Structure 1
Amino acid sequence: MPEFWIGHRRYRTKKDAGEAVQEVLYRYTVGSIVDGEEDHLLLLDLLDLHHEAAEKIGPGVEAFAIAPPQRGPYPGFEVIRTDGSRIDFSYLTCLKPPTHRQQVLNVMRDEVKATINAYFASRQAAGTLLSDQSRTPLETTNTAVSYFRGPSFVEIAEAFARSAGGWETIELTPSTEPGLGRFSDRDLARQWFTHHQERAELGLLSTRENQRRPRT
């Protein structure tokens, strides 16, 4: 059975990944908030794998809670959104194989990583590590580059996919790293890099501020 990734976390098999999620689920009591930072981050990355992630996340994730059983004897996870609303999600659904669109989105993020890193380095060199939302000073270990001031990453990617003829027309090389390959057509990869660079309006937030925003 092939290895499985949840965000940057690598598991030997999907079964191992599921057991890691279950370990979080059963470490907390029903109704309690998942207050461990690493547990919270794991669930954020797990939720990104859900085929209805945007609908589940809504305006942004404030926290996760352990929901009482809905069907059968087992508890589950619940998203507490930043507007106070709540919705459950199935971790088993999240562990299903990613769609081609999800795979391409992951590769797109990797293909423009140099732009994100360069933006952060420029802000650090200029001595402007401040949250562009709250204006609070940021530590390098508590900083996220965010798209909160303009079109989201997904909106930029969707527009490019449409111009390329649709998600299914974008071919990827075989995956050899964190669930990622590369664009098979390197000319198309350069077009994507330029498309992203021309449209991305980047800014800095604290890690927590960024976590509370929609994951787009």
Structure 2
Amino acid sequence: MVVPVIRTAEELKVPEVWIGSRRYATKKARQQAVQAILGRYGFGQVVDQEDDDLLLRDLLDMHPDAADKVGPGVDRFRIIPTPRGHHKGPEAVLVDGTKVAFSYQKCLDAPTQRQRVLDAMRTEVQPQVNAYFESRKAAHTLVSDESGQELSPAGAHVAYFQGPRFHDIALEFVEAVGGFDAIDLDSETARGLALFTDRALAERWHEHHREHAVLGLLSAEENLRRPRL
């Protein structure tokens, strides 16, 4: 007689997989979403559908070398042949005209400790970013700090473009505390929602961010062309 194994609800829970804020039931479904974009365009074509463009921007953020790939910011994406020429792959065209090919599969691999910590650092300071937006809204100054364009609440994006990038602020802090492996995180319930286990260290990060971040507002279009790291 075979005795059935009874699993708890937690054991049966399917791990959540993400691209940006998009949640997928399985890793295969997430991969198919990227492949569907590649299939919609021919070689050399610019990715001109907004939803496709936004997904590829979030995908590139997941690359282990995202900081180097993004550079000064992405202007648009094209579809190009992979190195062997048999398949389609994405290429980022940066705002300075540089063309950077990247492997979408590398973006979908399990996140490294570096990626997890950077995601947690962004999550930790999100209340500061939200407070900045609310202060601008209360002061009736929802205008682009780059172009002067008036912005709606839904169309205003908080960005690090008037000072150091978020990535640079975060790396300076990480180096000061002993590297990425020196930062322990609690368990993630969703991509990017892990937090620092050491709350005293978290407060040091909050203070570092308050001291060095120079926030501003951009329109959605302006923000798309800025580095997102």
The equivalent residue for 1:122 is: 135
Secondary structure of 2:77 counterpart: strand
Output the amino acid matched with 1:112. V
TM-score by length of 1: 0.95
CA apart distance, 1:70: 2.8
| Aligned-CA RMSD value | 1.3
**How many aligned residue pairs are there?**
216
Partner Cα distance (1:205, 1:52) in 2: 25
Secondary structure of 1:45 counterpart: helix
2:165 pairs with 1:152: yes
The equivalent residue for 1:26 is: 39
TM-score by length of 2: 0.90
Output the amino acid matched with 1:182. L
Pick the aligned partner of 2:185 from 125, 147, 172. Answer: 172
Partner Cα distance (1:159, 1:60) in 2: 21
The equivalent residue for 1:206 is: 219
The equivalent residue for 2:106 is: 93
CA apart distance, 1:152: 1.1
Q: Is the CA contact 1:4–1:179 (under 8 Å) kept in the aligned structure 2?
A: no
Structure 1 moving runs of 4+ over 4 Å: none
2:125 pairs with 1:105: no
Partner Cα distance (1:196, 1:54) in 2: 19
Q: Is the CA contact 2:77–2:91 (under 8 Å) kept in the aligned structure 1?
A: yes
Secondary structure of 1:54 counterpart: helix
Secondary structure of 1:182 counterpart: coil
Partner Cα distance (1:27, 1:92) in 2: 18
Output the amino acid matched with 2:63. H
Partner Cα distance (1:55, 1:188) in 2: 27
Deviates more, 1:101-110 or 1:51-60: 51-60
CA apart distance, 1:72: 4.6
Cα deviation per residue 1:25-60 (whole Å; 9 max; x = unaligned)? 101122111111111110001001111212222221
